Amino acid sequence: MSDIRSSYTDNQHFYGRHTPRELAETFGTPLYVYNEDVLRQRCRDLMGLSNHPGFGVNYSIKANANPVLLRMVREEGLVVDAMSPGELYMDQLAGFKPEQILYISNNNSRRELQNALGHNLLVSVDSLSQLDDLGAINKGGKVMVRFNPGIGAGHHAKVVTAGKETKFGVNPGQMDEVFALLKKHDMTLAGVNQHIGSLFMEAEGYLNAADVLLHLTEQLPKGALDTLEVIDFGGGFGIPYHKYEGQARLDMAELGSRLHALISAWAEKTGYAGRFLVEPGRYVAAECCVLLGSVYAVKNNGDKRYVGTNLGFNVLVRPAMYDSFHDVEIYGADTQARKNMVQTIVGNICESGDILAKERELPVICEGDVLGVLDAGAYGFTMGSNYNQRRRPAEVLIQSDGTAKLIRRRETLEDLARCLMD
């Protein structure tokens, strides 16, 4: 039987040898379903941005830290970062070596900084106080400093990570203080980095910010460029969430051409022979995943139609936190034509803000249907919770041969109490 609304995943052969309803029946819902081929292609898109000898891609695993997926990312030639001991642990499980991991910290305890140093990682700090703290335990060592380029971008105020209204980065005007602390602790500036925000869909802002960082790097004290190993331009590469509206993709060919020209010319001008990194998270992981959920109740409150599912914000918090848009597919028996109507899709959490899709014009959704939330691979499972003591869902991988493999089991009730002490 055909499905109600599934043309996007149909055209991709996203589910391999299976149907979404078969996967829902076999593994239960909610269920994160990943496609290996899509993940690998997004990695290749990014690695193809430049063939400059020092160019590389640093995957921000906060987007998705499943070690099975991380191993594929490693196989495609990307390096990774870590923001916490937990992320570092996942990087190591996936086989990344110390030289393939950057520790991008903010407001970390000395204990966490010491842990990163103990694993021979290059640590990035984003404040003078953290630089001083790291120096106290890393005398004579190396450090990376995150600067605020003054240019922010993003689809929501909460994801803008540069400019005046953000907690991140050292003001470039504090460069003298940075080098005073480096001298105090006999440390070497081995890297500079930045991040302007998330989900940009045009190249211009990113390239402008990259140019700002390169200009800043040129202003470093004499000799500092000789010891600089890494220049990380940050991330924020967007993907088209409005699939069924035909939203245009970020033009990677244009971005790659202009970025390659920028870094190649700058390296030739300055003699810099280190690494240039871009730092995408969303672009790597978002589109390789569809989140499956089940419809259990449909009702009207006044003139508003509500579709009740098991896709609460404990499973996918982005719509509730950022007002984020995710396209929705409908998998159900198309035994009769279903007219379009405005519907609001909600979850099973006891909060009025537990809304997955607000007032969407979609084919009528019925009890028993399975829904597919597109582009759920970034900031999906990693931001999930046990709110209302709901168990976190399973994760399944559609492998290149089309078969489905369970890569994370669904939590059990016992898992909820595993850390309790009697």
108 in the same domain as 202: yes
Domain assignment present for 1:
no
In sequence order, which residues have a C-beta less than 8 Å from that of residue 203 and are 6 or more positions away?
250, 251, 254, 255, 258, 259
157 pLDDT band (50/70/90 cuts)? very low
User: What mean pLDDT comes out for the span 297-301?
Assistant: 96
Which tens digits make up the pLDDT trace of 12-61?
Answer: 999 999 999 999 999 999 999 999 999 999 999 999 999 999 999 999 99
162 in the same domain as 106: yes
Amino acid at 196: I
Show the domain range for 265: 36-284
What pLDDT is stored for residue 208 in this prediction?
87
What's the CATH number where 411 sits? 2.40.37.10
159 pLDDT band (50/70/90 cuts)? very low
312 in the same domain as 198: no
What pLDDT is stored for residue 158 in this prediction?
38
Reply yes or no on whether the pLDDT at 207 is more than 50.
Answer: yes
Question: Which of 235, 261, 284 is the last residue in one of the domains?
Answer: 284
166 pLDDT band (50/70/90 cuts)? low
Question: Which of 236, 267, 284 is the last residue in one of the domains?
Answer: 284
346 in the same domain as 270: no
Which tens digits make up the pLDDT trace of 247-271?
Answer: 999 999 999 999 999 999 999 999 9
300 in the same domain as 154: no
Question: Which of 258, 284, 310 is the last residue in one of the domains?
Answer: 284
Domain assignment present for 80:
yes
Total number of domains in the chain:
2
Domain assignment present for 312:
yes
What's the CATH number where 65 sits? 3.20.20.10
Instruction: Say how far apart CA 35 and CA 407 lie, in whole Å.
Output: 12
29 in the same domain as 80: no
CB atoms within 10 A of CB 49: 22
Domain assignment present for 79:
yes
Instruction: Tell me the DSSP string of 102-144.
Output: EEE-SS--HHHHHHHHHTTPEEEE-SHHHHHHHHHHSTT-EEE
Do 137 and 110 contact (CB within 8 A), yes or no?
A: yes
Which residue, among 138, 56, 45, has the nearest Cα to 99 in the 3D structure?
56
Which tens digits make up the pLDDT trace of 364-400?
Answer: 999 999 999 999 999 999 999 999 999 999 999 999 9
Domain assignment present for 57:
yes
Which residue, among 260, 320, 256, has the nearest Cα to 283 in the 3D structure?
256
203 in the same domain as 65: yes
Which residues does the annotation mark as catalytic? 350
